[in-house]
Amino acid sequence: MKLAGASIDRFLARPDPAVRLVLVFGPDGGLVRERAALAAKSVVPDLNDPFRVVELSGAALDDDPARLADEAAAISMIGGRRVVRLRDLADKHAKLIQAFLEAPAGDALVVAEAGDLPNRRSTLRSAVEEAANGAAIACYADDAGSLDDLIDQVLAKAGLGIDPDAKHWLAERLGADRALSRSELDKLVLYMGAGATRVNLEDVRNAVGDASDIGIDDVVEACLGGDMARLERSLERCRQAGENAITVLRAVSRQVLQLQLARGLVDNGASVERALSLLKPPVRFPRDRAFKAQLNRWSGHRLADAVDLLVEAELDSKTTGNPADALTARALMRIAGVAARSGRR
């Protein structure tokens, strides 16, 4: 079944026990992770419990498709229902997911995460939406209404009200990614400190700044993760914030160079975890998950091609007289296209 609007919150608060698999997908990676965690916690409150929670990547399912049924049927040593968390699923996993829904093993709840899945073309999305024991939840960037609700929710929990002009300022600078928005709001709450009751415009400016780093980080992740729609939105967000196109290009370039170093280490026998720890600075939580996903998409020669595109775009932006924003967008869209095609293999 397909969930939308208020039915999503109702389901996550009290999931239908007949549902055996929840697919959470969409361009807002932070919201995907948040809702997937809520679904999983409805069965196992502590997602770090090694006896009741197991995680499988899409690559692991490619290597051993039978692991899904095996893990769903496994019994916890300490009792209680289990959760199987699936990461980085794509349409190539649709047949496996459909087969599981038609004859689900065991009683575990399977919570699957995926990126953006086009409405009419996604076989994975269709397989879950058409199943009576499946639930599909789409996650898109917060609109004005949902972002206002998020701001109110986080601040109210901390006992804070907010002035209208301060709320408007915040809403204009948040929203591209739910996790990033929450992080900035949490930072605001920490800035206000104990005893504060109301947030004003000066407070949010001091605590959050202009949030340009949020937009640039989103550009980098969307570009190298192959998420074209999210990249387009993030670039527009940076443009509206007045971010310099060269700054955006160089942020992507820094990530590509780190990926090149990590790819070289992995290709020479290092584990992914070892490679990330050897980078300067090392890649650690919360950046490590997105970095690993990018590393899986990019080969050494493709990364070299990306460097050439970025260098060319920066040179053209400085010498040709053409709009730097347009040159930057063209180069990053080309890079994202390569990443998207690599993810569909």
Report pLDDT for 84.
Answer: 97
Which segment of 116-120, 131-135, 161-165 scores lowest on mean pLDDT? 116-120
Q: The domain that contains 265 carries what CATH number?
A: 1.20.272.10
**Residues 181, 293 share a domain:** no
Higher local confidence (pLDDT), 240 or 204: 204
Q: Which residues pair with 110 in a beta bridge?
A: 21, 84
Using CA atoms, how far apart are residues 136 and 97, in angstroms rounded to an integer?
12
| Rg from Cα positions in the chain | 21
Report pLDDT for 214.
Answer: 59
Which segment of 4-18, 87-101, 273-287 scores lowest on mean pLDDT? 273-287
Q: Which of 251, 268, 266, 336 is nearest to 302 (CA)?
A: 336
Using CA atoms, how far apart are residues 60 and 292, in angstroms rounded to an integer?
14
Report pLDDT for 176.
Answer: 62
Residue 344 lies in a domain: no
Report pLDDT for 67.
Answer: 95
**Residues 115, 23 share a domain:** yes
- Mean per-residue pLDDT for 264-280? 91
Structure tokens at 113: 């995460």
Report pLDDT for 157.
Answer: 92
Residue 107 lies in a domain: yes
Q: Is it the case that residue 285 has pLDDT exceeding 60?
A: no
- Mean per-residue pLDDT for 124-141? 93
Domain range holding 25?
2-138
Report pLDDT for 238.
Answer: 83
For 163-183, how does the pLDDT look when each residue is reduced to its tens digit (9 = 90+)?
988 888 787 667 667 777 888
- Mean per-residue pLDDT for 257-284? 90
pTM, 2 dp: 0.55
Residue 161 lies in a domain: yes
Higher local confidence (pLDDT), 281 or 324: 324
Q: Is it the case that residue 210 has pLDDT exceeding 60?
A: no
Residue at a domain's end among 77, 111, 138: 138
Confidence of residue 44 (pLDDT cuts 50, 70, 90): very high
Q: Is it the case that residue 298 has pLDDT exceeding 60?
A: yes
Structure tokens at 200: 């004003």
Number of domains in the chain: 3
Report pLDDT for 172.
Answer: 67
Q: Is it the case that residue 281 has pLDDT exceeding 80?
A: no
Residue at a domain's end among 138, 172, 191: 138
- Mean per-residue pLDDT for 65-69? 95
Highest mean pLDDT among 23-27, 67-71, 318-322: 67-71
Residue at a domain's end among 96, 121, 138: 138
CA distances from residue 43 to 81, 111, 255, 286 in whole angstroms, order as listed: 7, 11, 37, 24
Higher local confidence (pLDDT), 214 or 253: 253
**Residues 133, 14 share a domain:** yes
Highest mean pLDDT among 84-98, 201-215, 220-234, 277-291: 84-98
Confidence of residue 208 (pLDDT cuts 50, 70, 90): confident
